[in-house]
Structure 1
Amino acid sequence: MYRFILATFIITPILFEPLIQDMQIFFTGIVALLAVVISQSFFASGLLFFAKNNKLSNRLLAALILAIAFWLMDHFIRIAGIYDQRPDLYFMPIFYSFGFGPLLYFYVRSLVNQNFKFKRIHLLHFIPVALQFALYLTLAFCPFVFKEWYWENVHRPYTYRIEFDGTWASLGIYLIMSVRLLRRYQQWVQNNFSELSKIRLNWLITILIVSMILCFQWFIEILLRDLKGLYFDYDYSVEILGITALVLGVAGIRQSNLSGVTYEVTDKQMAEDAKALFEPDPEILNRIREAMEKQQLYLNPGLTLVDLAQAIKLNPKVVSRHINTGYQKSFNDYVNAYRVEEVKRKLTPANLEKTTIISIAMDAGFNSKTTFNRIFKEFTGMAPSEFIR
C-alpha cells in the first residue's frame, strides 16, 4: 500500500502536467480524487504488466485498468475545465470502453486456468474496441471546426449513443459470462483442493458484484441520456469505475501465484456429468476412506484431489465422483471433516497445557488461523474456544 501512496505524489504531476500547463484548473474534491485514481491506475497497471506471477492474467488486468483510467481521464478533463480552454482536445483517442467486458472476461478465464493461451481467434472479441479506437484516432487529427460539426450532427445523435449503449450491453454480456465461469471454477476447486483460502477468488466475486451495480447505474444513465437528454447530471458510473479500478489494482497485485490451477471444463462436459447416472463402487469408497484414515493424507495442508487419486492409484475424476456421490460431500469438505475430527480429538486439557489450539490445528492440516476458525465453526457450530469448555 505504501507504494501506491508514494506513486500518487510521483506520478500525478508527471501525468497531468502536459494537460494543465498554462491553464487554470478548477480543482474540486472530485477533480483531485480523479487525479489520484487515474495516477494510481497507471501505476498499478505498470506493476501488473511486469509481475512475475500469473503473467497473462496480470497483463490483461493491466490493460483493463488502463482502459478504465483513460475513460476516467475524459471525465477529469471535462470537470476540471480543460476542454473549455483547450477545445482541440476533444475526441482524443482515450476511449476504450468496448474493451471493458472482453478484458474482464479473459482476465477471469486466464486467472482460473494458468494453461490458457490467448489465440488469434480471441481477437474477434476486440473488434468493437478497435473500431472505437480508429474512430477517435481519426477525429483527433481533424480541425476543431470539423470536430464541432461531427459532434452536433453525427456523434451526439448516433455514434455517441452507439458507444455508450453498446458499452453497457457488451459489459453486461461479458459480465454474465464471467460470473458463470467463476461460479463453476469455485465449485471445481471445492472438489479438487483441500486448502482454498488463496485460490477461492472471493475478492473477484466482489468485483463482479460491483460491476453489476455499475451496469445498473449505466442503464439508468442510458435512459436519462436517450430519453431526457441529460448527459452528465447523474453520471455516477464514473465514481463506480474509479472504485473498480483501485480495487482491481490492489487485489490483482496481491493475488497469489495460481500456477497449479488449471480449471478448464466445457459446458458439454458439465452437462454430461449432470445427466449421467452414477452408482458409487463400495470398494473404491473403502479405498478412499482407508487412504484418509490409515495414511492420514488430510494432515498435508496442500492436499489435492490428484494427490489422493495417486495414493490409491485411481483417476482423479473417479475419486471425485465417488466422494461427491458416495459421501455426499465436496473434496474440500470431505478432507476438512477429518481435520476437524483430528482437532476435536486433541482438544483435551492435558494437550492444551503443552501446546495451543492453533498449533493443534496446524498439525491437523490447517494452514491458517482464519481458515481453521471458519471451518471449525461450520462443522461444529461453535468456536474452538467454546468447544473445549
Structure 2
Amino acid sequence: MQIPFTVLVLLLLAVVAQAVFAAGLLWVAPHNRRPNRLLALLMLAIALWILDGFFRVAGIYTQNANWYFAPIYYSFAFGPLLYFYVRSLTNHAFRLRPRHFWHFGPVALQAALYAALRLTSYPTRLWFWEHVHRPVTYRLEFIGTWVSLMVYLGLSLRLLRRYRRYLDDNFSETSQLRLRWLRTLLVLLAVVSAQWLVEVVLREFFDLYYRYDYSTDLLGVVVFCIGVVGLRQADMRAVHFRPETASAAEVVAGAEDSPTGSAPAVAGTGESAGAAAPPADSPVPGRPQPAVDARVQERVRRALEDEQLFRNPTLTLTELAAHTGLPARLLSFTINQGFGKSFNDLVNGYRVAEVQRRLARTTDAQRLTLLGIAFESGFNSKTTFNRIFKQVTGVAPSEWAGKEGRMNEENSPSS
C-alpha cells in the first residue's frame, strides 16, 4: 500500500498522533481525574473521526476497499462527552449515574452497527453501502451527529453561563476557575458545526460529497487545542457547582416546614438570624422576597472589615460561613441583597480599598512596591490585581499610585 505524503496527509496523521498522546496524558493526570478522562475519551472519538479523513485523502480506501466500515465511528459521543466533561469539571463531586447513560444510546447503536458490519463479508458490506448506508444510515449519522453536537453545545454554554454566576457568589479569586478557554473551545466547535451544516446542505440538495469537506480539518484544530489547554487546566477540586440542586422554593418551604421553626444563630450574638433565604437571583414565584437580617449583614461586615478576612487571597464563601457559623446560603443572600454585590465583588472591593489606604500612607508606599502592597491586601496575581483595581476605580493601579505619590510629596513637611 502506497501513501502519498502530501501536506494534508501529514497534518491529519500528526493530529491523530497528537490526540492519542494527549489523551493518554489526560487519562493518567493526577488532578481533575474524572473530567480529564471524559476529555480523553472525547479526544479519542474525534481522533478516530479524523482518521477516517486520513484514510480518504491518503487513498487507503481506494487501494483496499476492505477498510470501509472500520469500527472507528463514534461521532454520536461528541456531544454527550463534551457536556458531561463540562459538568464534571465544574463540580468535583459529579458522577455519571445510570440515568445519564441514555445520552450514550445513539453512539452505542452506532458502534454496534459498525462492529456487526465488520463481521460480514465484503459483498454484504458493499450491498449495505449501496442500498442502506448511503441513502439512509449515512444521512442519519451525519445529520444526527450535527444535531446532537448543536444540542449539547447549547447545554454546555448555558451551564458555563450559570457557572460564572456561581463563581462570583462563592469565590474571591476566580482567575484559575473561570474556564474562559473552554468557552472559546465551545465557540470553535460552533464554527465547526456551521461548516458541518454547509456540508449537509451541499450533500442533501446538491449531491456534492467531500467537495467542501472542511469540518474534518476544523475538528483537527479543535482536538489540537484540547490537547494543549486541557492539560494546563488548574485543579478544580474546590468547585462544587450543582445546577440541579434544590430550588429556592424548596429551600424556603423547608425552612418554613421545619419542626422547630428555628433558625441558625448569628455567631457572636447568640440570636437567631431568621430562616435561610434563597439567593437573590432566584426569587420564589408567589412569595414575598425575604428581608435582609441586619445582624447577619453586620456580622459579614465585621468578618471582612474588622477581622480582615479579605486578606486571605483564596477566601471562599464556604470559609466565610465556617468563620461566622452561618449557613453559606444565608450569607450569599445577605451579600447579594444587603450589600447589593456578589461575594467576589464585595471581597475584592475591600482589597482595593486596602490598597488605596496603604498607598496614601507614606511609610507603606516607600517600604513596599505596588505589587507588594497588593499581595498584602489579599490579591495573589498581578493580572487579577490590575484588572479588578481598574474595574473598581476606573484607573490603572500605577496611575493611582502616581497620583498618591505626588500628593504625599506635596503634603510632606519639606515641601
Within 5 A, what are the aligned runs for 1:31-46? 31-46=9-24
Q: 1:56 aligns with which of 31, 34, 47?
A: 34
- What is the rounded CA distance, in whole Å, between the counterparts of 1:226 and 1:103 in structure 2? 28
Secondary structure of 1:254 counterpart? coil
Say if 2:18 and 2:224, in contact at 8 Å, map to a contact too. yes
Q: What residue is the counterpart of 1:151 in the other structure? A: 129
Q: 1:75 aligns with which of 45, 49, 53?
A: 53
Secondary structure of 2:385 counterpart? helix
Q: 2:388 aligns with which of 352, 359, 375?
A: 375
Residue-by-residue CA offset, 1:248-287 (whole Å, 9 max, x unaligned)? 1222111111111111132762687522313212221111
Q: What residue is the counterpart of 2:367 in the other structure? A: 354
Tell me: higher relative CO, structure 1 or 2? Use CA pairs within 8 A at least 6 residues apart.
Answer: 1
Q: What residue is the counterpart of 2:143 in the other structure? A: 165
For residue 145 of structure 1, report the CA deviation from its aligned partner: 2.3
Q: 1:278 aligns with which of 290, 308, 313?
A: 290
Gaps of 5+ in 2: 251-277, 403-415
Q: What residue is the counterpart of 1:244 in the other structure? A: 222
Q: 1:338 aligns with which of 329, 347, 350?
A: 350
Within 5 A, what are the aligned runs for 1:157-236? 157-236=135-214
For residue 50 of structure 1, report the CA deviation from its aligned partner: 1.1
Tell me, yes or no, if structure 1 residue 295 matches structure 2 residue 307: yes
Secondary structure of 2:199 counterpart? helix
Q: What residue is the counterpart of 2:325 in the other structure? A: 313
Q: Percent identity?
A: 50
* Matching residue's letter, 2:199: E
Report the TM-score when normalising by structure 2: 0.85
Secondary structure of 1:191 counterpart? helix
Structure 1 range deviating more: 316-325 or 241-250: 241-250
Higher helix share: 1
Secondary structure of 1:256 counterpart? coil
Report the TM-score when normalising by structure 1: 0.91
For residue 352 of structure 1, report the CA deviation from its aligned partner: 3.4
For residue 234 of structure 1, report the CA deviation from its aligned partner: 1.4
- What is the rounded CA distance, in whole Å, between the counterparts of 2:221 and 2:313 in structure 1? 35
For residue 345 of structure 1, report the CA deviation from its aligned partner: 1.4
- What is the rounded CA distance, in whole Å, between the counterparts of 2:290 and 2:149 in structure 1? 39
Q: What residue is the counterpart of 1:18 in the other structure? A: none
Structure whose CA Rg is larger? 2
Q: What residue is the counterpart of 2:274 in the other structure? A: none
Q: What residue is the counterpart of 2:259 in the other structure? A: none
Gaps of 5+ in 1: 1-22
* Matching residue's letter, 2:38: L
Tell me, yes or no, if structure 1 residue 366 matches structure 2 residue 368: no
Say if 2:22 and 2:227, in contact at 8 Å, map to a contact too. yes
